[in-house]
Amino acid sequence: MGKAFLFLACLVLATQAVDNDPEIEMNAPEIIERWGYPVEIHTVETTDGYLIDIHRIPAGKNQVQTPNKPVVFMQHGFMCDSSNWIVNLPDQSAGFLFADAGYDVWLGNVRGNTYGKKHKTLNPKSEKFWEFSFDEHAAIDLPNEIDYVLQKTGQKSLNYIGHSQGTLTMFAHLSEDQTFVSKIQNFFALAPIGTMTHALYVLFGSGEFLPSNNFMKVISKDFCGTNPTNDYCDNLLFLISGPESTQFNDTRVAVYTSQTPAGEKFDYQDPKKNQKKYGQDTPPAYDYSKVNAPTHLFWGDQDYLGDPMDIKNFLIPTLKPEFVKTNVELKNYNHMDFIWGLSTPTDVYAPILKTIQASNQGRFQRH
């Protein structure tokens, strides 16, 4: 993390805050409430004792809350949390758009991020708390949260939208548990990741990838909230996610940055740690040919994390063709455009809504 942290720290010291957006200081539920939407906070206790808050938008703005709505579960990407789906304006944010379209929207989180730093017995400051990797996100957090949502809503299955890491965890879980497909109507993979072979993000080092978002809120207020320096603030995101985007709403960049880093640790495949965990120097590969859910891929040609080479040479050839229902390459999309791009509602969310509505057919009603 050293070089990236030093770079960010220098930027903070070089600037002062003006014209700050109030959402920089808000958490995800507060942002949802700010825009006039109902919100619920649910705490999921995982089978190994982690306490993870997930967020629900049970109805659209000024809509009556009704039971038996189709459920859409959204899972965030690397370094992120549930706020990713609601930090754009309401007509640009997936969480709000799908709620307004009549869906019961749930926003997931994982152990270790902003909303997953609690445990029944472990202190988050202890090393023991952080002894997990993407394997636990996939094997425990994901199914525990989805089971909780289905139990609360009384639904038998839901539509899953994952971005970045949120696709990796679903691919991994489906490859290990083929019975899980009964709970997934559609799997929408935005900026999908099946392997990190070409991802530039490994250059940032190991440990907690970015500091807690208290530090990032300082950056957002003292640097990204300053209009004359927004081009530099944009580059913090582009450095991680891909070449400069023409889709970002410049007035929202400070909000993006304050809400993005969620402080999660990950495994850099150390041979000794792999030996201890797997009994071999390298971790066993997930067999993505076993993924058996209707899968819809949306990926960009300018993505540094969901690298096009990894998608073309590994992910698509590995998935069984009969389960790949959609495969869309979007030109000039980088990693974050899939959740923050101004054209994403048209290019990505509209096709997803159409697919979900077709899946629900007569069962779907707008309220």
Kind and range of the H or E run holding 30:
helix 28-34
Task: Say how far apart CA 327 and CA 351 lie, in whole Å.
Answer: 12
Q: Looking at the chain, list the stretches that DSSP marks H as alpha helix, in order from N- to C-terminal side.
A: 2-13, 28-34, 94-100, 134-136, 142-153, 165-176, 213-219, 230-241, 253-259, 271-278, 308-310, 316-318, 337-340, 344, 350-360
Task: Say how far apart CA 305 and CA 293 lie, in whole Å.
Answer: 23
Residue 266: name the closest of 110, 49, 143 by CA. Answer: 110
Q: Which two three-digit tokens encode residue 296?
A: 């819809």
Task: Say how far apart CA 117 and CA 139 lie, in whole Å.
Answer: 18
Task: Say how far apart CA 335 and CA 341 lie, in whole Å.
Answer: 10
In three-state secondary structure terms, 44 is: strand
Query: Choosing from 245, 335, 337, 347, which is the catalytic residue?
Result: 335
* Residue 289 designated active-site: no
Kind and range of the H or E run holding 298:
strand 295-300
Query: Choosing from 303, 307, 310, 337, which is the catalytic residue?
Result: 303
Query: Choosing from 164, 220, 241, 245, which is the catalytic residue?
Result: 164
* Residue 164 designated active-site: yes
* Residue 335 designated active-site: yes
List active site positions: 164, 303, 335
